[in-house]
Chains A and B, each alone.
Chain A
Amino acid sequence: MNYTFDAQTAVGRQAAPSASAKPAVTLAEHIVEVISDSGEGAQRCGQSLGAIAARMGNGVWTTEIIPAEIQPPARSVAGASGIRIRMGSRQVTNGGDETDLVVAFNEQVLLGRVQAGELKHGATILLESMWREHRDPKIVASYAKVLRALENDGYRVIEAPLERECRTLVSDPRRGKNMFVLGILCSIYSLELKLGREQIERIFGKKDEQVIKSNQQLLEAGWQWAEQNLDFKFRIPATRSAEPQIVVNGNTAIALGVLASGMEICAMYPITPATSASHYLSDVFERVGGIVHQAEDEIAACAFAIGASYAGKCAVTISSGPGISLKQEAIGLAVMAEIPLVVVNVQRGGPSTGQPTKMEQGDLLQACFGSHGDAPKVVLAASGIEDCFYSIITARKIAETFNMVVVVLSDASLATAQQPFPRPRFSADWLAPPVDQSPVPDGAKPYDWDPVTGLMRRFVPGQPHGMHTLTGLAHDRLSHVAYDPAINEEGLRHRSLKLAALQKTLKTPPVFGAPEGDMLVVGWGSTKGAIEEAVGRLSAEGLKVSSLHLQFIQPMPSGVKEIMQRFKQVMTVESNWSDRLEDEIIDASNRRYSALAMILRARTLVDVDCWSEARGQPIKPGAICEVVRERLKTGGMKQ
Chain B
Amino acid sequence: MTTSSTHCLIRLHQEHHSLEDYQGGVPRWCSGCGDNAILAAVQRLCRDEELRPEKTMFVSGIGCSSRLPHYMKTYGFHGIHGRAFPVAEGVKMARPDLHVFVNTGDGDCCSIGAAHWIHAIRYNMNMTVMLHDNHVYGLTKKQASPTSPIGLKSNTTPRGSELEALNPLSVTLGVQNVSFVAQAVDWVPEVMYDIMSAAFRHRGFSFVRVIQRCPEFLPKMFEPWLHDPQKTLLLTHPDGLQLSAGLTKTYKNQQEHDPSNIDRAREIASLDDPIPVGILYRNPKVPCYEDLRHPAQMRTPEFIRAGFEKELDKVTVWPDEDLQTQRAA
Contacts and interface: CB of A to CB of B under 8 A. Distances in A.
Nearest to B78: A471
A41 B116 CA distance: 40
A470 B77 contact: yes
A296 B117 CA distance: 10
A104 to B, nearest CB: 29
A55 interface: yes
A423 interface: yes
A463 B54 contact: yes
A470 B78 contact: yes
Interface string B100-127: 0000000000000001101100000000
Contacts of B301: 262, 428, 431
B140 interface: no
A463 B57 CA distance: 12
Contacts of B95: 311-313, 435, 461-462
Given A303-B86, A461-B95, A469-B77, 6 more contacts: A259-B307, A287-B310, A288-B308, A426-B305, A431-B301, A468-B75
Nearest to A261: B304
Given A260-B308, A287-B307, A469-B24, A300 B116 contact: yes
Contact of A54 (B57, B115, B317): B317
B326 to A, nearest CB: 9
Contacts of B311: 256, 259, 284
Interface of A: 51, 54-55, 192, 240-248, 252, 256, 259-260, 262, 264-265, 267, 284, 286-291, 293, 295-297, 299-313, 315, 329-330, 332-333, 420, 423-424, 426, 428, 431, 435, 461-473, 480-481
Contacts of B90: 265, 267, 303-311, 315
Contact of B315 (A247, A264, A287, A291): A247
B175 to A, nearest CB: 12
Contacts of A481: 70
A297 B93 contact: no
B210 to A, nearest CB: 20
Nearest to A434: B299
Chain A interface, >50% SS class: mixed
A469 B23 CA distance: 12
A461 B55 contact: yes
Contact of A297 (B57, B115, B305): B115
A480 B25 contact: yes
Given A299-B83, A306-B87, A431-B304, A246 B77 contact: no
19 contacts: A240-B323, A245-B316, A252-B315, A287-B307, A288-B308, A289-B298, A291-B293, A295-B119, A300-B83, A301-B86, A303-B83, A307-B77, A307-B87, A308-B91, A329-B80, A423-B312, A462-B54, A462-B97, A470-B78
Contacts of A304: 86-87, 89-90, 93
Nearest to A301: B86
A461 B76 CA distance: 9
Q: Which of B25, B59, B92, B94 has the most CB of A within 10 A?
A: B94
Nearest to A475: B78
A293 B86 CA distance: 11
Q: Which of A259, A265, A333, A461 has the most CB of B within 10 A?
A: A461
For the complex of A and B, the 6 pairs showing the least CB-CB separation, nearest first, are A307-B90, A469-B76, A288-B307, A303-B86, A308-B94, A300-B86
Contacts of B88: 307
B244 interface: no
A604 to B, nearest CB: 35
Contact of B115 (A241, A296, A420, A435): A296
B266 interface: no
Nearest to B90: A307
A582 to B, nearest CB: 45
A472 B79 contact: yes
Nearest to B318: A244
A470 B76 contact: yes
B303 A289 contact: yes
A246 B317 contact: yes
Given A296-B119, A467-B54, A248 B315 contact: yes
B87 A303 contact: yes
Contacts of B74: 467
A471 B62 CA distance: 10
Contacts of A243: 319
B70 A284 contact: no
Given A310-B91, A311-B94, A464 B54 contact: yes
A243 B318 CA distance: 7
